[in-house]
Amino acid sequence: MEYVYAAMLLHSAGKEITEAGITKILKASGVEVNEARAKALVAALEDINIDDAIATAAVAPAAAAPGAAPAGEAPAAEEAAPAEEEEEPSEEEALAGLGSLFG
């Protein structure tokens, strides 16, 4: 993920996305750089319009909202009822659940 963040940082700064640029950013942040991953990312982004990808990604989650009725349709009676509030587990319950992961 840090490789993608480095590429986004270069893009937002108006710099060319290169292996050297990604490597420099990652090293400056203390990440051990895998040259093959940097090279693969640069190759993958070569034909991508990042501005379009960001604009599309920002819209996609809203369009895929679960339980959303298509435009022009009224929600069913079951869907119109307010959802019940779920109680948050106490800190002790959360820790007990976490402890079960480590047996």
23 falls within a domain? yes
16 falls within a domain? yes
In the chain, pLDDT over 90 holds for what percent of residues?
Answer: 45
pLDDT of residue 40: 95
Q: Which domain holds residue 14?
A: 2-63
Tell me the range of 24-28, 46-50, 68-72, 73-77 where mean pLDDT is highest.
24-28
35 falls within a domain? yes
Average pLDDT of span 84-98: 64
- Answering whether pTM is above 0.85, one says no
Q: What DSSP character marks residue 88?
A: P
We report the CATH number of the domain holding residue 38 as: 1.10.10.1410
Tell whether the model's pLDDT for residue 54 goes beyond 60.
Answer: yes
What span, in angstroms and rounded, lies between the C-alpha atoms of 25 and 17? 11
Q: Is the dihedral of CA 47, 52, 58, 59 positive or negative?
A: negative
What span, in angstroms and rounded, lies between the C-alpha atoms of 11 and 17? 7
41 falls within a domain? yes
pLDDT of residue 72: 59
Tell whether the model's pLDDT for residue 18 goes beyond 70.
Answer: yes
Average pLDDT of span 61-68: 58
Q: What DSSP character marks residue 81?
A: S
